Chain A
Amino acid sequence: MPLEISISVQAEGFDPGAEYNLLRSENYSDGATTMFVGTVRDFSPADAAALEPVEQKTVAVLELEHYPGMAESALTDIARRAAERWPLGRVRIVHRYGPLAAGEEIVFVGTTSAHRQASLDACAFIMDFLKSRAPFWKKEIAAGAEDGSWVEARASDQDALKKW
């Protein structure tokens, strides 16, 4: 099928099942659909890296800031780059902003292709580039706290681009 790219940057939640249906709707040439759904965790990456497990749940809300306008164009650019590398049918990216509670979905990437490997690789490629190239910033806020701390970019996210 001809390439279709769809991008949404939104405060509202999304339904991964409905997104799947849209990726598949009247799409009979792509045998492969890959979806990635990112969800807000209730602990900080810093806790995960600690030697001792942290019992206390440290994150109640994740505040997502974005650069309106540039966020949409950056996601579109990343989707186009993926479509230049792999024979994709549909590419769908949803990224949320604003306050998100632990357990809420934050990001969706869906790709379809005639080929399984192309669909899987393109989805991973988009997530890796989104981490380092899309203008979104996360702030973790603990339960009961008024303000939180900004999540620092990780070198591992930058390193992840090297495999592409």
Chain B
Amino acid sequence: MIKVLFFASLREQLERDVMEVEPEGLADVAQLRSKLAGQGAVWQRALGNDQLQVALNQKLSTMDAAICDGDEVAFFPPVTGG
């Protein structure tokens, strides 16, 4: 399974902070994002944002990064720490 996390405004929009997704047929983050976005209008809106950032196994990553079973993928808006 792929563990998927959501943070900040994305977490609120989707009303969840974590979910598990079957890895079959998902080669990269972009495909995972498309699959999730296909779950409805709210998902489409939240994950369709071109500012969306992603971390793969707790490191900032890019949408073309390859994923596999056991990975942790986090989606979130641009960070605003400090």
Contact = CB atoms under 8 A, between A and B. Distances in A.
B74 A138 contact: no
A67 B58 contact: yes
Contacts of B9: 137, 150
A135 B7 contact: yes
Given A65-B8, A135-B79, 18 more contacts: A67-B76, A70-B55, A73-B58, A95-B81, A107-B81, A127-B82, A131-B79, A133-B79, A136-B80, A137-B7, A137-B8, A137-B77, A138-B80, A139-B8, A150-B8, A150-B9, A152-B78, A153-B79
Interface string A63-96: 0111101100110000000000000000000010
Nearest to B57: A70
B59 to A, nearest CB: 7
A74 B32 CA distance: 24
Contacts of A73: 58-59
A134 interface: yes
B5 interface: yes
Question: Which of B55, B58, B81 has the most chain A CB atoms inside 10 A of its CB?
Answer: B81
Interface size class of B (residues with CB under 8 A): 10 to 19
A151 B81 CA distance: 10
Interface of B: 5, 7-9, 51, 55, 58-60, 74, 76-82
B76 A137 contact: yes
11 contacts: A70-B74, A73-B58, A107-B81, A131-B81, A132-B79, A136-B79, A137-B8, A137-B81, A139-B8, A150-B77, A151-B80
A137 B76 CA distance: 9
Contacts of B8: 65, 137, 139, 150
A134 to B, nearest CB: 5
A31 interface: no
A66 B80 CA distance: 10
A67 to B, nearest CB: 6
Given A130-B82, A136-B82, A153 B58 contact: no
Contact of A138 (B5, B60, B81): B81
A20 B49 CA distance: 42
B82 A107 contact: yes
A13 interface: no
Nearest to A147: B12
